Structure 1
Amino acid sequence: MKPLLIILGPTASGKTSLATQVCSLINGEVISADSRQIYRDMDIGTGKDLHEYTVNGHRVPYHLIDIRDAGDKYNVNQFQKDFKIAYQEIGQRGATAVVCGGTGFYLHAVLSGHAFSEIPVNDALRGSLEILTVDELRQSFAKFDTAYKDLADTTTRKRLIRAIEISQFLTEHPEKNLEMSNPKPGYEAIIYGLDSPVEVRRERISKRLTDRLENGLVEEVQALLARGISPEQLIYYGLEYKFLTLYLTGEMTYNEMKLKLETEIHRFAKRQMTFFRKMEKDGFVINWLNYDKDAGKQASFVVKHYEEATKKFIKVL
């Protein structure tokens, strides 16, 4: 098969629109690399934008979206398995796999073949970490020196706790640390990145949040709570689901919720970019695109570049 075509970027960068436009030009199918879009009925808060999967009247196929019920837990090990199945199915149809997402650890797992996700859960450790603040968790994580440290996705509290869990396991099992410092090769890929100047990104995030709050996000979280999904389960998903839950359970006023959520989304986008820059330092080439072009023009450029790069790639093989 041809190499993967990956489109990555921080939240609100326009990844979905670009990915679906690209798919419409090259008989592509999207594989989502977003850790929350896998959940059904969590549409607005996760930014699925499913209307964008119809391009010029044609429905673009997608994978790893709406594959789990809200309230379930999912990890990168399950993602790697589901990704492999989707990738093989797309190849059997002679289509091109277009990976779209902003969950850096998922993307890194696809590209590098790391198996950190196989490290078991340590419930006792998690219990002791749950009472710590985010700053205290970061200080704890910083003390470790393992093969995993520079690869860890610490963009949310739950991922930070998992990073500490993995780091402690590798410290206690040095043979695993050595093994994982030399991972199996992952999928070959040509990567494109979407980003914009910080002020533009901040404006987009703020506008999008206001639009979502005014157009169903509150009701979406209310409906999940009404179905019996516990506040703790929703808080686990972070960002929109965390802060809307705190508002709906009376722990925050609406204005407090909106201000805090907006701040945290800005911070999240910054951490996403930090992870992508770290990927570049690890040797992954990301072709950054001009942020101010419309999706159609960007898509044409990406397809042309990808086809040319694929020819060179195949010659090298």
Structure 2
Amino acid sequence: MITILGPTASGKTPLAAALAYEIGGEIISADSRQVYRRMDIGTGKDLADYTITNNREPITVPYHLIDIVEPGTKYNLFQYQQDFYDAYQDIMARGKTPILCGGTGLYIEAVLKGYKLSPVPQNPDLRQQLEGKTLDELTQLLAALKAKTGSVMHNKTDVDSCQRAIRAIEIESYNLEHPVPLRELPPVDSLIIGVNIDREARREKITRRLKARLEEGMVDEVRGLLDEGIPAEDLIYYGLEYKFVTEYVTGKTTYDEMFTRLEIAIHQFAKRQMTWFRGMERRGFTIHWIDALRPMEDKVGKILEIVNQQQ
């Protein structure tokens, strides 16, 4: 398998699609929010990126684990690990090359290492105890639990709201009190390619992309989800675009406040993603970094060169 990772706005998906087109591969998404149907603009699905136009007719590269669950549900790492492995086995059985692509470092590391996970039930008593605490207070509680369990899960990248922090505390508390679960999925050997984008170029691209997504109708997308009956707190749970746009749509902030706070949050998110990937290197993963700003043909050629060197 080949894994392509990188921070938001680094151009991972077009690169993965171009590579898949070149080698006859199929893409498995490693994005914790693109699993949700009808959450398209805010999650940056950009499904057009999977269509490659060459001299011949356009060809859509097969992709997996996008649009697989309904909004309002709380898809989690345990489910992702199983869904990934099912897709991985299916692709391998058909003689194709799986290409794992995304920026959710926890999801990527979980499947590459074969984390031993279990479904963790909700704990109403614990939730009641934690209700009303600030995100900072919850983050400190989570850090203390992680110190006891030795867990590397629930990095700040994925815990950016009180709801998510409470769920993370719930999971870590459960793991502290229960033995290792029976379900075990094997680690997956993968060549890892990191797409590295210069900080200033990344910031400029994030701002430009945010403006474009708002112009494309991101606010209307959130309004539509609310009109479906999806509770505002469920959308806020998904973080970033859905958190800040929902707060704007429900009258808690102005448009300008929403834009400014969301722009800052995305920049911080990209920085935390890179922190996670550097942590993966410290935890023993070899990541071959390539420059995001190189021409697409050069990037694909460089990956193929690395693949040949590894064989």
Matching residue's letter, 1:17: P
User: Which residue number corresponds to residue 191 of structure 2?
Assistant: 190
Cα separation, 1, equivalents of 2:232 and 2:28: 29
Q: Is the 8 A contact 1:76 1:117 kept in 2?
A: no
Runs of at least 5 residues in structure 2 that lack an aligned partner in the other structure: none
Q: Is the 8 A contact 1:26 1:303 kept in 2?
A: no
Cα separation, 2, equivalents of 1:163 and 1:114: 16
Q: Is the 8 A contact 2:25 2:97 kept in 1?
A: yes
Cα separation, 2, equivalents of 1:185 and 1:286: 20
- CA deviation map 1:97-150 (0-9, x unaligned): 000011111111101111234344323223333422221112112223234433
TM-score (norm 1): 0.89
- CA deviation map 1:139-189 (0-9, x unaligned): 11222323443343332234433332233234334x54xx89xx8751111
User: Which residue number corresponds to residue 225 of structure 2?
Assistant: 224
Does residue 162 of structure 1 match 2:167? yes
Cα separation, 2, equivalents of 1:123 and 1:71: 19
| Greater mean deviation of Cα atoms: 12-21 or 135-144 | 135-144
Per-residue deviation, 1:299: 1.4
User: Which residue number corresponds to residue 243 of structure 2?
Assistant: 242
Over aligned residue pairs, what C-alpha RMSD do you find? 1.9
User: Which residue number corresponds to residue 33 of structure 1?
Assistant: 30
Q: Is the 8 A contact 2:122 2:170 kept in 1?
A: yes
Cα separation, 2, equivalents of 1:160 and 1:303: 40
Q: Is the 8 A contact 1:6 1:191 kept in 2?
A: yes
Match of 1:19 among 16, 19, 27: 16
The count of residues paired between Structure 1 and Structure 2 equals: 302
Q: Is the 8 A contact 2:164 2:237 kept in 1?
A: no
Distance 1:185 1:268, change over 3 A: same
Distance 1:189 1:48, change over 3 A: same
Cα separation, 2, equivalents of 1:129 and 1:297: 51
Cα separation, 1, equivalents of 2:227 and 2:39: 14
1:1-317 pair list within 5 angstroms: 4-56=1-53, 57-144=58-145, 145-155=147-157, 156-157=160-161, 158-173=163-178, 175-176=179-180, 185-309=186-310, 311=311
Matching residue's letter, 1:23: A
Cα separation, 2, equivalents of 1:153 and 1:33: 16
Distance 1:283 1:241, change over 3 A: same
The share of aligned pairs that are identical, in percent, is: 50
Per-residue deviation, 1:243: 0.9
The 3-state SS of whatever aligns with 1:193 is: strand
Per-residue deviation, 1:13: 1.0
Cα separation, 2, equivalents of 1:289 and 1:244: 33
Per-residue deviation, 1:237: 0.9
Cα separation, 2, equivalents of 1:112 and 1:45: 29
Distance 1:124 1:303, change over 3 A: farther
Cα separation, 1, equivalents of 2:117 and 2:72: 23
